[in-house]
Structure 1
Amino acid sequence: MTKRALILGITGQDGSYLAEFLLGKGYEVHGIIRRASTFNTHRIDHLYQDPHEDAPRMILHYGELSDGVRLLRLLYDIQPDEVYNLAAQSHVRVSFDEPVFTGDVTGLGASRLLEAVRMSGVHCRYYQASTSELYGATPPPQDEDTPFHPRSPYGAAKLYAYWMTRNYREAYDMYAVNGILFNHESPRRGETFVTRKITRAVARIKAGTEHEVYLGNLDAIRDWGYAPEFVEGMWRMLQADTPEDYVLATGQPCSVQEFVQKAFEHAGLDWQDHVRFDERYLRPSEVDALVGDPGKAERELGWKARVHSGELARIMVDADIAALAHEGGAWIDQAVVPQWPTLRSVTP
C-alpha cells in the first residue's frame, strides 16, 4: 500500500528535498503552504503531477501553524502515515527582532500540531525539526545527552518544541521524534542565510556586478553539511522500531571565515579583497561553536554525512554562478526527480 506523508514547510529548502526523496520512494506527498497573493513554490514546481499517473502524487493544502483547527481538519482528511514538521521562523538573527512571532510559530506551532495529531486519532509517526541552536553556549562536541543552553529566541522556541515532542511521546505513547540537525545547506538555501549570502556574492563578484559583501562574525564555528543527505536522516528516524531523538551532523568544524575562503578560492578570488565587516549582522548574544557528534545516528540508523564544508562551498558556488548565467533565475537542483509539466493541486 502506498505510504502517505504530510510535510509542513514543504516550500523550504528541507521540505523540497524531503518531498523529492519521498516521491522517489513511492510516497504520496501532501504539503501545507501558507495562503498568499503569489505562489512561493519555486523549489517544488518541478515535482507536480506526472501526466502519465492516474492521481497526483504531490498535493498542496493551505494551512498555518497558527490555526490548530485547520491542522486538525487536514490531518483527519489526509490520514498521513508520517508527519514532518519542518515549518518555522528559522532565521536566528531575525528571531531577535521578532521574538514573539518566532515563539508563536516555531514553538507554539509545534504544540498545535502535536495536539492536532493527538485529537485526530491518526496513527502516524511524527518528526519534529529540532536544531543545534538548542546547545547555544554549551561547548562542543554536542550529542543527544549534551545540556541545552539556547542563546536566541529561535533556540528557545525550538527548545519548547523539543520538550513538547518528548512530552507527547511519553504522555500519549505517540511515535514522535526530534531530529537535532546541525547546519545543513544547499543551492536552495534562503538568500539571507550566511552560506547562501556568501556564495551568491561570490557569483556576482566573479561576474563583475558587485565588488563587496558585508558579513558579521567571521569567527563563529559551525558544522555544515548537505541538506539532501540530512532529509534522508529524517526519514530514517521514522523507520526505526522505537521513537528516539537523534543528532545529525558531519562532526567537522568550520568557521565562517574558512567557508568564505573556500567559496572565494573556488571562484579564483581572494576573499580579503571583497569581504567587509558590518556590526549590524552581529547577534545580541553570539553562539561561538556548534559541532555535532552523530555517532548514535551512524550506529542505529546507518546514516552518515558524506559532503563536508569544502565540497559544500563548491556545490553552492557553482550553482549560484550557473543561476546568474541564466539571467538570475532561481537555482533548483532537479537531479533526484525529473521535471514534469506543471499541474498544481491545492485544496482550499
Structure 2
Amino acid sequence: MTRVFITGVAGQDGSLLAERLAAEGASVHGLVRTADDAVEAASRLPAGVALHVGDLLDTATVEALIAEVAPAEVYNLAGVSSVAQSWVDPVSTGLVSGVGAVAVFEAAWRLQERTGNPVRVLQASSAEIFGQAVVSPQDEQTPLRPGSPYGAAKAYAHHMASIYRERGLPVSACVLYNHESPSRPTAFVTRKITSTVARIAHEGRGSLTLGRTDVRRDWGWAADYVDAMVRAVRHETADDYVVATGEVHTVAEFVEVAMRHAGIDDWEAHVRVDEKLVRPADAAEQVGDPGKARRVLGWTPTVDFHGIVARMVDHDLELLRSRP
C-alpha cells in the first residue's frame, strides 16, 4: 500500500487528490493548519484519510510528521492560494508559499537519507512565476519574472525544487495554469462568476461586478491537473512540467458562456466593472504549452473550456435549487 502525505489537503486540489489516491487504495495523510480545519476537512474528505494539524513554518513539526508517516510520495499543495491576497499580506505569502515549501523538501530529503528509500515529491508551482512573460505560450524554458508576491514566492519554491532535485531528492514541479471546479471558493473570480450567474438565473435579477474582463487566461479542469501531478510524481525521472490546455479565453468569454448556459441572453446588461477590483501588475495573458507533459507523461486534458464553465454553473444552480 502506497503511503502519501499531502499538504493543503483541505483545498480544491488537495481534496481531489485525496479522493483519487484513497480510491486507488493508498494510505492518505493530510496536513491542515488548525483543529477547526481538520473538522471541516474531515466532513468532505473520504473516510480513512488521516489528518494532522501543523504549520508549514513550524519546520520541526513538519519534519516530525513526515518522519512519522514515512510516505513514499509527498504532494506540497499548501500555501496562500490567491494572488489578490498576496498583495494584502506579502510577508506571510513569502513565508508560507516559499519558505514552507523548502521545509517540506528538507523533511523529505532527511527521511530519504535516513531510510535509503526514495521519497518522491510534487511541488505545486504556478503560471504566476512567469508574470509578464517574455514569450507566449510559456513552457519549461520560459524565464521566470514574477509580478506579484504570490508569483515571487512560488518562483523561490520552484528554484528550490530544482536545487533539491540536484541534491538527490526526486522532486517534480508542475507549473499549474488556472484550473477550476465547483470546489473553488467564491473568492476566486471563476466561482464568483458561476455562483453569481446561477443566482441571477434563479432569481431573475441581479448583477455581476468584476475588475478587468479583458484578461486572458488558460483555464483547465482541476481533476485533470491533479492527474498530471500524480503522473509527474510517479514518472521515473523527476522534472518540471507545464500543465495547461494551450488555449486562452478572456474573463468576458467566461462570463458570456456562463450566462448563456444559464439561459441569460442579455448577459452584458448584468455585468458591472469596478476599477477597485483591478489587481496591480496583473499579467494580461497567461497561456501554457503542455507539450512536454503530453510527450513525457502521456497527459492530456479531458474537459474543454465550455465544459468547465457548464459544470460549474450547473453545480451552483443545483445548490440554489436544493435550498429549502
TM-score bin, normalised by smaller chain: over 0.9
TM-superposed CA distance for 1:73, in Å, is 0.6
Q: Which has the higher contact order (CA 8 A, sep 6+)?
A: 1
SS of residue paired to 2:29: strand
Report the equivalent of 1:248.
243
Q: Which of the residues 63, 78, 82 maps onto 2:54?
A: 63
Shift of 1:119: 2.7
3-state SS of 1:126 partner:
strand
Instruction: Tell me the C-alpha RMSD between the 2 structures.
Output: 1.5
2:57 match: secondary structure: coil
- Cross-structure match for 2:2: 3
- 1:211 equivalent among 202, 206, 210: 206
| 1:34 matched residue in structure 2 | 33
Q: Distance in 1 between matches of 2:148 and 2:179?
A: 19
Helix, strand or coil for the counterpart of 1:180? strand
Partner residue of 1:106?
97
What code does the residue aligned with 1:124 have? V
Structure 1 residue 232 displacement after superposition: 0.7
- The answer to whether residue 310 in structure 2 is matched with residue 314 in structure 1 is yes
Give yes or no for the alignment of 1:127 onto 2:122.
Answer: yes
Return the offset for 1:246: 0.4
* Structure 2: segments with no counterpart, 5+ residues: none
Q: Match of 1:41, SS?
A: helix
Determine the C-alpha separation between the residues in 2 that align with 1:8 and 1:189. 17
More helix by share: 2
Identify the residue that residue 86 of structure 1 maps to in structure 2: 77
Q: 2:92 and 2:320 mapped to 1: Cα distance?
A: 34
1:173-212 deviations in Å (ceiling 9; x for gaps) = 1101110011100000111000000000011111218601
Alignment of structure 1 residues 60-209 onto 2, 5 Å: 60-120=51-111, 121=114, 123-138=118-133, 139-170=135-166, 172-208=167-203
Retained in 2: the 8 A contact 1:143–1:294? yes
Quick check: 1:34–1:64 contact (8 Å CA) kept in 2?
Answer: yes
Aligned pair count reads 318
1-structure distance, mates of 2:171, 2:179: 22
TM-score, structure 2 as length reference = 0.95
Match of 2:16 in 1: 17
- For the structure 1 residues 155 and 217, does the alpha-carbon distance in structure 2 shift closer, same or farther, using more than 3 Å as the test? same
2 CA distance for matches of 1:157 and 1:278? Answer: 28
Q: Distance in 2 between matches of 1:285 and 1:271?
A: 28
Q: Distance in 2 between matches of 1:268 and 1:274?
A: 13
Q: CA deviation at 1:214?
A: 0.9
CA 1:48–1:294: 2 relative to 1, 3 Å: closer
Offset of 1:148 from its aligned partner?
Answer: 1.5
TM-aligned CA deviation for residue 36 of structure 1? 4.2
Secondary structure at the residue paired with 1:128? strand
The residue number in structure 2 matching 1:266 is 261
**CA distance in structure 1 between the partners assigned to 2:194 and 2:183 by the alignment:** 12
Cα distance change on mapping 1:16 and 1:149 into 2, 3 Å: same
Query: Cα distance, 1:271 vs. partner?
Result: 2.0
Alignment-mate amino acid for residue 53 of structure 2: Y
- Distance, in Å, in 1 between the alignment partners of 2:295 and 2:144 is 23
Counterparts of 2:223 and 2:155, CA distance in 1: 24
1:239 equivalent among 234, 239, 242: 234
Task: In structure 1, list runs of 5 or more residues that go unmatched.
Answer: 50-55, 329-348
Deviates further, 134-143 or 192-201: 134-143
Deviation at 1:39, TM superposition (A): 4.7
Partner of 2:75, secondary structure, is strand
The equivalent residue for 1:228 is: 223
Distance 1:36 1:77 in 2: 19
Residue 45 of structure 1 corresponds to which residue in structure 2?
43
Q: TM-score, normalised by structure 1?
A: 0.88
* Residue 303 of structure 2 is aligned to residue 304 of structure 1: no
Distance 2:103 2:254 in 1: 38
| Matched letter for residue 247 of structure 1 | V
* Structure 2 residue aligned with 1:343: none
* Structure 1 position 24, deviation (Å): 1.6
1:175 to 1:94, Cα distance in 2 relative to 1, 3 A: same
In percent, how many aligned pairs have the same letter? 44
Amino acid at match of 1:283: R
Q: Deviations over 1:15-72 (max 9, x none)?
A: 0110111112111100011114465635x635443xxxxxx3x111111111100001
Paired residue type of 1:67:
D
Residues 190/46 of structure 1: CA separation in 2 closer, same or farther (3 Å cut): closer
Structure 1 Cα separation of the partners of residues 123 and 87 of structure 2: 22
